[in-house]
Amino acid sequence: MGNSYPVVIIRNQNTWIEGAAEQQLKTTAALAGMRRVAGMPDLHPGRGYPVGAAFFSSGVLYPALIGGDIGCGMALWQTELPARRAKADKLAKQLGSIDAPLAGDVPATIGGGNHFAELQTVDAVYLPEYLPAALEPDKLLLLVHSGSRGLGGEILRRHIDQHGHRGLPDAEAADYLAQHDAAVAFAVRNRAAIAQRMLERWRSSGQCLLDLSHNFVEACQLNGEHGWLHRKGATPANQGLAVIPGSRGDYSYLVMPAADTALSLYSLAHGAGRKWQRSECKGRLSHKYPADSLRKTALGSTVVCADKHLLYEEAPQAYKNIDNVVQALCDAGLVRVVARLKPVLTYKTAGGCEA
């Protein structure tokens, strides 16, 4: 890297990370102006750059590190739906399909890939003093994972067309940053619109407890040096309480970041992290699990997904163990676990695809 900063990976003895992801992290660390990089315990290979990592550079900003889904993140909402009497199948029927565009000609509400919306119960509380004041443990929570959809992708395409994958010197970054900030703001509004549409179907009101992006860049001072902190699938650790979801068949965790998270570049894991590539999933699973069997999880929750390929690509088996990911963060002194959340109903897509 041409400096004294290490390449750090937050891990413990149970952390499994592919060699390809570690190599991508090291390759990215060698980019011009890169000062320090940190891989999270959910680190996995991406399209040229690793996912589940934070990068601090000086003098140069790298839009390609953020990728096309600018502003992708998690919003956690408190609903008025009683948890004790929650019946997933009834809730799914009431919800129906929310795949229609929210406005204009944007093609999908939630987005593709690993985006989802999930009703959850509070399964266990470990540090009640850190719970949001508005959180009601006897009512369902709604977690929305989505981003800027086509907007962020178009911003990245324009950048690549003009500049390739090279970084932007500080003096040339203003135009990209303005577009980036607009995409981040759109993604926040998109998550709120998804939550509100779902709550209306359930005839419930709700309140947003937290909303954190995990794909974005921001100005940052590190060891007295001004630069850019890029997060690619990394949840901010400097904005208070955070949620780290598992796969659709696993728990999610509310965590309180430690006072000092400089080790991980003020960042945390953003989820369990993929264990298998999407192209592998159907071949690994279809001979063992009929598609319909993947619409119910080991925790008893229901999955709404009319796309058979997506059912396999997003199967719980394709992801790392969320308990191991969160424990690695705890062992590194980066977080304390506040509560555990259990899935009830996970929504991916209700129609328009092969069933």
Active-site residue list? 270
The reply, when asked if residue 273 is annotated as ligand binding, is yes
Q: What angle do CA 115, 297, 308 make, to 5 degrees?
A: 55
Strands in the chain per DSSP E:
7-9, 34-44, 51-57, 60-61, 73-82, 116-125, 139-146, 168-169, 206-213, 215-222, 225-232, 234-236, 242-245, 252-257, 267-269, 302-305, 335-349
The reply, when asked if residue 104 is annotated as ligand binding, is no
Token code pair at residue 175: 């135009």
298: left (phi over 0), alpha (psi -120 to 50) or beta: alpha
The reply, when asked if residue 145 is annotated as ligand binding, is yes
Assess contact for 265 and 36: CB atoms under 8 A.
Answer: yes
The reply, when asked if residue 165 is annotated as ligand binding, is no
The reply, when asked if residue 117 is annotated as ligand binding, is yes
Q: CA distances (Å), 350 to each of 93, 95, 104, 110, 317, in order?
A: 10, 10, 20, 11, 22
Note the helical H segments in 67-173: 88-95, 150-163
Cβ neighbours around 82 below 10 Å, total: 12
What is the residue whose two structure tokens read 């937050």?
Answer: 10
The reply, when asked if residue 215 is annotated as ligand binding, is yes
What is the residue whose two structure tokens read 């630069």?
Answer: 227
The reply, when asked if residue 118 is annotated as ligand binding, is yes
List all residues 6 or more positions away from 101 whose beta carbon is below 8 Å from its beta carbon: 107, 108, 109
The reply, when asked if residue 114 is annotated as ligand binding, is yes
The reply, when asked if residue 298 is annotated as ligand binding, is no
Assess contact for 42 and 236: CB atoms under 8 A.
Answer: no
Amino acid at 93: K
Q: Binding site for GMP: which residues?
A: 114-118, 214-215, 252, 270-273, 348
Q: Binding site: which residues?
A: 114-118, 145, 214-215, 252, 270-273, 348
Q: Binding site for Mn(2+): which residues?
A: 115, 145, 214
